[in-house]
Amino acid sequence: MSHALGTAHRTLIRCLVCGCSEVRTDYVLDLGWIFLAECPRCDHRWTHTGEPPARAIHARPALRIHREVASAA
């Protein structure tokens, strides 16, 4: 299989109540970015507004297009 799977991005955040490190997170776009977080241990949920963190973009090689010049004839 020549295709690689996408890199998993983890949010390094702990629950504000119990300190659990397995917090489920997501970003939602609804009149601006909203960060959603939920603790699976104590079920504490919270939100935060702001931009999501930047993700690395893997550049692909640019395709070179050679155009012919019109002849004078």
Residue 41 lies in a domain: yes
Question: In total, how many domains does the chain have?
Answer: 1
Of the listed ranges 6-15, 18-27, 43-52, 56-65, the least confidently predicted one is 56-65
Residue 48 lies in a domain: yes
- What is the residue range of 41's domain? 23-53
Residue 30 lies in a domain: yes
Spatial separation of the C-alpha atoms in residues 65 and 5, rounded to whole Å: 29
Strands in the chain per DSSP E: 24-29, 33-38, 45-49
Residue 73 lies in a domain: no
Sheet containing 24-29: order of strands: 24-29, 33-38, 45-49
0.75 surpassed by pTM: no
Give the dihedral sign, CA 51/31/58/8: positive
Residue 63 lies in a domain: no
Mean pLDDT to the nearest integer, 48-53: 77
Residue 12 lies in a domain: no
